[in-house]
Structure 1
Amino acid sequence: MLQILKIGHRGAKAHLPENTLASFQYALDMGVNGLELDVHVCSTGELVVIHDFTVDRTTNGSGEVHKMTLAELKALTVEGQYTISTLEEVLDLAGKKCFLNIELKGRHTAVPVSELMERYIAEKGFTYNDFIVSSFQREELMVMHDINPNIHLGILTQASVTQAWRWAQEFSAKAIHPHFSLLTESNVKKAQQAGYKVYTWTVNEPEDIERMKLYEVDGIMSDYPERL
């Protein structure tokens, strides 16, 4: 029986504020195989886990993430009681309980993500198999491929499986990450036969989850990990 990996999207986004340590812990408690998260670099150089390019939607503050210091970001609150987490905090929380799907959301994230992963591999017993690094951004994927070809890459797309496939070939990626609406049983099989894993997002409705299982994708990202 094929095991389809259960991946918590921004933790357990449907239950607790996205990309917070509480959300990631909730997903871990539900037994996910992987956690998906988004990273930006703040003005003092740390990697912070937040989806948007600004803090406006998810916190009580306002401003662009890359222009704010870590101290400024940490002073903000998410839904009154949570804080923005750093990538290190998420890695320490997750340990080796599951793999981490790190999406390079902000610009210039490839180099610091590679450096942090290398440190955790060297010092804390992690392996390359504990990570997959994904992005929609060609430049970040290219930089990551050039500086550290050992890192497993995933090509994100919400427009074209064919384009994701081309980039996967170009950057020696391990996986393609298409939006579930782009998938058919045929293109899933074709990608897998070419040697790529297929991790799809963000699949929340039970009927869509069942369809993805029928297509035998390799992993499903959901705001509702308990439904997977």
Structure 2
Amino acid sequence: MKKAGWLGIFLLSLGCLQPPARKAIPLPAVDNEGHRGCRGLLPENSIAAMLYALDLGVTTLEMDVVISADGQVLLSHEPFFNAQISSHPDGRFVDTAEARTLNIYQMNYADIRQYDVGNRQHPAFPQQRVQPAIKPLLADVIDSVEQYALATGRPLPFYNIETKTSPATDDVFHPRPAPFVKQLLDVVNDKKVGPRTIIQSFDFRTLREVHRHYPKVRTSVLIDAHDHRSMKRQIRDLGFVPDIYSPNFQLVTTELVETCHARGMKVVAWTANNRAIINRLKQMGVDGIISDYPDLLTRKK
């Protein structure tokens, strides 16, 4: 084989040098994403928040998932019961000292669903309406959303699902990346929403698992404001070019957006809760915005 041929194979093997493969269903041209449904308005990661976000016109529902002791995939930002929003089955508030002992990975879902996470208003969101809520199964969320969208004549949304994993807490608060991703994608594939699913994470390991074993599922790399690596270095460390580059909104510049677009990545900024910031992000050319107040994204004025 000619040297150029070997070079081509070598470059192809470095996924970071190739744009992401095309997926079956195009992403929205302007992606309005409801953060944890609509955390600023209803209890986070609840079915009610997801349905209300649809009413507000979101195109993508953003959510977080964890795994229970009996292998159930459910919505939760933390792998335990957050003391700011959680109540025991008997109504007592979960306090900070005990929160991490209520480890979802060590609890069966029958017990998890007895805890309320909606009757205590999140202190950071004074507009949030309190109402009873549990940590729902991902399967139940998808069923409810799909049925509601069809019943109300709304377009079927995309699902932007964050894997809540970290090397420091493997086998303590969650499975390792391989079984975590398999359990998650088993639900996604069973519900037949893979073409409308994005898997996002700060943990590059889970994104690599998705890219390796589920190449048709979109990936989104989450970038924290404290990550001082260059975008080029981040993508090199990831090992492939994801479909979406998703930075904290403070990191977004016109140059960053143009560079991402040149490499075949869309840019989805998080989490913008101010109209002036949202307008500035749009002017810089981002492809999507995640907000706790998705009504700010969809209202014309």
Deviates more, 1:77-86 or 1:212-221: 77-86
Cα displacement (A) at 1:104 = 0.6
Deviations 1:185-228 (A, max 9, x none): 11111101110011110000111101100011111000010111
Equivalence for 1:48: 74
3-state SS in 1 of match to 2:273: coil
Contact 1:203 1:222 in 2 (8 A): yes
Correspondent of 2:293 among 219, 224, 227? 224
- TM-score, L = length of structure 2: 0.70
| Distance in 1 separating the partners of 2:284 and 2:237 | 23
Deviations 1:87-143 (A, max 9, x none): 11111122262100000114432111121222222xxxx342x11100001221222
Contact 1:174 1:196 in 2 (8 A): yes
| Distance in 1 separating the partners of 2:245 and 2:234 | 6
> Does 1:143 find its partner at 2:209?
yes
Contact 1:175 1:196 in 2 (8 A): yes
Give the letter aligned to residue 34 of structure 2.
G
> Does 1:79 find its partner at 2:157?
no
Equivalence for 1:100: 159
| Distance in 1 separating the partners of 2:244 and 2:237 | 10
Contact 1:155 1:167 in 2 (8 A): no
Equivalence for 1:88: 139
Say if 1:174 and 1:35 are closer, same or farther in 2 by CA, change over 3 A.
same
Deviates more, 1:38-47 or 1:57-66: 57-66
Correspondent of 2:235 among 153, 160, 165? 165
Cα displacement (A) at 1:54 = 1.3
Q: Sequence identity of aligned pairs in percent?
A: 29
Contact 2:80 2:104 in 1 (8 A): yes
| Distance in 2 separating the partners of 1:165 and 1:199 | 16
Query: Number of residue pairs matched?
Result: 221
Give the letter aligned to residue 114 of structure 1.
L
- TM-score, L = length of structure 1: 0.91
Deviates more, 1:134-143 or 1:188-197: 134-143
| Distance in 2 separating the partners of 1:153 and 1:120 | 18
Larger strand proportion of the pair: 1
After TM superposition, the structure 1 = structure 2 runs for residues 185-200 of structure 1, keeping only pairs within 5 Å, are 185-200=254-269
Say if 1:214 and 1:143 are closer, same or farther in 2 by CA, change over 3 A.
same
Q: Which has the larger radius of gyration?
A: 2
Give the letter aligned to residue 171 of structure 1.
F
